[in-house]
Structure formats: structure tokens, C-alpha cells
Amino acid sequence: MKPARIEKQFEMPVSWSDIPFGEQYRQALQYHLRSWWPKMFGFHLLKLGHLSTEIDTKECMISHQFSAGNNDPRFHVIADPLALPFANKSIDACLMSHMLAYNHDPHWVLREVDRVLMDDGWLIISGFNPFSLLGIGKMIPILRKQQPYSSRLFPTIRISDWLSLLNYEVFFQRNCQAFPWLGPENRLNQCIAGIGTLNILVARKRTSPLTPTALKFKQKKMKISTALGATKRMTDRSKSP
């Protein structure tokens, strides 16, 4: 498995239209997130990166929605994703559309977003699936420098592992658009979603471990049994002549 952090710098497309079948990807992402936006509440929704800004989030219940990214006056906030200029636990939800796919240090991006997200805040991530037609195309040398093959491809299971280390609970993960030129409602795309070009995750930040450990309970049980054993021995000694 290749390391997450590499030295190569990536340039994110400024629009979905700069990616072949980009409009289909955008529509598919909106289609699968449509049922999740009404479940998110709060004051601040951060759209990180160019592609996130073009995702329709009007059904989200969060009132203040703004964008942030590098070197583009269209962003509400000019910011480096590796050093976000926001206070700790000040953002209620963050949309990262293909941000990990076009960054040389995805771990650090996730740490920064985790820092600014409030407890129980929402994190929405999308990217490209390596186990898809796009992944096959990336193995062809002539295509590697073209969009979207020049991006990084992380499977959903790997991103889920990163999120679990940061104590996030993944509520939804899905691959879609096996055939990018077909719509998200197409039956063929729905039947073979596992090899879909697009991957989507919806997760929530948790403040306590998702799986409680039994170690402390075992220690308490041992202490109680030890104390009972000592009491029994003292009682036996007092009864002996």
C-alpha cells in the first residue's frame, strides 16, 4: 500500500466541467447526499475546495454556508486546507468533495478538519474509487497526467480506517457511477455500484470511544474477588483454635 503523504503537489480542477463526465459525477454526488442534508443542523457549513462549492446544499438545515480554498477570489475565505484559519470546534459540518484526491497529505487535511469540527459535527467526503474503470485507466501511462486520472485514488475502506482512528462514526459509504456517462438512477449503475467510479462517505465526529473496552470492568472484578478472598481467609483464621 502506498503511503498517504507524498511530495508531489496536485492541482485541483476549478470546476466539475474540467473533469470528463464531471457533470455526471456532480449530479450523482448530489443525488446520494440529498437525503442527508435535512439531518444536519447548526450554524456553519464549510465547503472545502473548488469542487465542493458547486455542490447544491440548499436542503441542508445549516444557515451559514461558505466556501474556503487556495488562491481563488470566488472563495468566501482564502485558506490553506492544511492550516485552516478557524477556531477549534467552530464548524458544524464540512463538505470535502475530492479534497483528499488532490492533496499530497490527506492525513493532515483530515486532522485540520477534525480540529475545527464541533463534537458530533458532520463530515462528508467524496473521491475516486481505484477499483473502477477509472482505476484501470490510471494504469495506462498516456492517461496518468490527464484528469481525473492524475488524482489520487483511495478506496472507501481506507478512508473509513482513517476516520475510525479519529473517532468518527461512518453512517453512509457508497460507490456509484460504474459507468460515468449514465445517470445515478440508472439501473445498471445501481446494480454494480461496488465498482463505481465515485465513492462517498458521510461520518460524524464522536467524543467517546465507539467500542467500549472491558479492561476496566475486568480490573474491578479482580479487585472485588481479591478482597472477598482476603476476607474469607481472615474469617477462617479467626475460627481456627
Domain residue limits, the chain: 16-205
Nearest to 90 by CA among 115, 53, 67, 62: 115
pLDDT, tens digit, for every residue of 179-220?
Answer: 988 888 888 888 888 889 999 999 999 987 655 555 444 444
Name which of 5, 36, 241, 25 is nearest 128 in CA terms.
25
Give the mean pLDDT of 107-129. 97
Region 110-129: mean pLDDT is 97
The pairing of beta strand 168-176 with beta strand 198-205: antiparallel
Distances (CA, A) of 202 to 57, 67, 111, 215: 14, 19, 16, 31
User: Tens of pLDDT along 38-64?
Assistant: 999 999 999 999 999 999 999 999 999
For the chain, what is the mean pLDDT?
Answer: 87
In DSSP terms, which residues pair with 125 in a beta bridge? 96, 201
Fold of 16-205: Rossmann fold (3.40.50)
| Cell 465513492, residue located | 199
61 versus 234: which is more confidently predicted? 61
Q: What pLDDT, on a 0 to 100 scale, did the predictor assign at position 209? A: 60
Return the higher-pLDDT residue of 126 and 178: 126
C-alpha cell at 96: 470535502
Q: What percent of the chain has pLDDT over 70?
A: 85
- pLDDT value at 133 more than 50: yes
Q: At what angle do helices 106-116 and 156-165 cross, to 10 degrees?
A: 50
CA distance linking residue 161 with residue 234, whole number of Å:
52
Which residue bears the cell 456517462? 181
The pLDDT of residue 188 is: 85
Tell me the H-state helices in the chain. 22-33, 50-53, 106-116, 133-138, 156-165, 187-191, 215-239
Place of cell 481479591: 226
pLDDT at 220: 46
pTM for this entry: 0.83
Residue 222 pLDDT more than 50? no
Tell whether the model's pLDDT for residue 236 goes beyond 90: no
